[in-house]
Homo-oligomer: A and B are copies of this chain.
């Protein structure tokens, strides 16, 4: 099989990640729950991972790094912490992990304004200026890279447009691990991280990092191993946002992924940009193909075949060519509407994709492009 669905779940993890996570499965004491040596050893690893991630993302120290089961949970903690009377700005490029919690907040009274795309398929910054001008938003929730097209807004420009007191919440699902993300340099107040994609961790890993001016509230309540006499959640981070047993193997995998990326992010980025550029070049020469991506470091190439529905293309690629891609809406319905698409084929590369996959893939698409509608 040629696995080109890395934007859904990274299909290859470095040995250091697999080895550490597999060892953690077998160790399995409970970090933060007991005072014996095994539990304390796990706890120390958890805290060193908080520091590691805070450094990796230009964050605000270990207290402001909480572990979540996926990026969606991290986004929910951040978004559902916004008061129900907030005006919130977001974009049509967002994933349902942003759209659905925002639409839930809307039912509770929030005003949610969607920024459209411009003619280039980027976020329309003039529309953002107008949205900010009409009434100041409490928060903006913006993806660092579209999971559909691999298009990324210029966050520095976005930040300049937002009022100084507007919280900037970023969905890092597709960006983290692919490009450097520095919360302090970019003025990001909350960064939601997926562990199992660019960060090279395992499924079940994720994190939310947040600034000193944003104080997220719990969405779950339970044991923290701290202040056990207290029937409320402890009023300090990270405990306030972490109920129940932590997923130690997942946390270890995130640490190993981040350590690996400190060495390799630059070369990964170059490899992935090269894959997308070559794929797009080939697809543009292919009959019946309309490409929606530009070369990008997120590994994403989306396109339409005029003669076949996107899910049918994905199915045929899997069944006939052993190639894994994703068709359909990719859990991001509004950007499809904005692009005039009712579904695209998305191939997503990682630095571990074999280089010959580009040619195998585009040749297979070429064969399908000639089929009768």
Partner of A34, one of B34, B75, B194, B325: B325
Partner of A228, one of B1, B253, B330: B330
| CB–CB A333/B229 < 8 A | yes
Q: Which of A65-73, A264-272, A282-290 forms contacts with chain B?
A: A65-73
| CB–CB A1/B100 < 8 A | no
Query: Does A91 belong to the interface (CB within 8 Å)?
Result: no
What is the CA–CA distance of A196 and B31 in the complex, to the nearest angstrom?
A: 13
Partner of A11, one of B28, B37, B329, B331: B28
| CB–CB B37/A73 < 8 A | no
| CB–CB B250/A5 < 8 A | no
- Restricting to A303-334, which residues have a CB under 8 Å from any CB of B? 311, 314-315, 317-319, 322-333
| CB–CB A324/B36 < 8 A | yes
| CB–CB A34/B5 < 8 A | yes
Query: Does A231 belong to the interface (CB within 8 Å)?
Result: yes
Query: Does A51 belong to the interface (CB within 8 Å)?
Result: no
Set of chain B residues within 8 Å of A225, measured between Cβ atoms: 331
Question: Chain A 1-23, CB within 8 Å of chain B: the 1/0 string?
Answer: 10101001111010000100110
Nearest B residue to A223 via CB reads B331
| CB–CB B231/A324 < 8 A | no
What is the CA–CA distance of A70 and B245 in the complex, to the nearest angstrom?
A: 7
| CB–CB B5/A28 < 8 A | no
| CB–CB A39/B69 < 8 A | no
On whether A72 and B203 interact (CB within 8 A), knowing A39-B5, A97-B223, A331-B228, the answer reads: no
Partner of A100, one of B36, B203, B232, B332: B232
Query: Does A339 belong to the interface (CB within 8 Å)?
Result: no
Query: Does A292 belong to the interface (CB within 8 Å)?
Result: no
Q: For residue A168, give the distance in angstroms from its CB to the closest CB of chain B.
A: 20
- Restricting to A203-261, which residues have a CB under 8 Å from any CB of B? 203-204, 219-225, 228-233, 243-250, 253
| CB–CB A69/B72 < 8 A | no
| CB–CB B35/A9 < 8 A | no
Set of chain B residues within 8 Å of A1, measured between Cβ atoms: 36-38
Query: Does A95 belong to the interface (CB within 8 Å)?
Result: yes
Set of chain B residues within 8 Å of A121, measured between Cβ atoms: none
Nearest B residue to A106 via CB reads B231
Q: For residue A342, give the distance in angstroms from its CB to the closest CB of chain B.
A: 9
| CB–CB B228/A328 < 8 A | yes
Partner of A231, one of B21, B38, B99, B330: B99
Query: Does A156 belong to the interface (CB within 8 Å)?
Result: no
A-B contact pairs, 12 of them (CB 8 A): A13-B26, A22-B22, A25-B202, A33-B331, A34-B326, A72-B220, A73-B220, A97-B221, A100-B233, A203-B248, A203-B250, A219-B219
List 15 extra interface pairs beyond A69-B247, A73-B243, CB under 8 A.
Answer: A8-B39, A11-B28, A11-B38, A18-B25, A22-B25, A28-B203, A35-B314, A35-B327, A36-B315, A72-B243, A73-B220, A96-B228, A97-B223, A97-B244, A203-B245
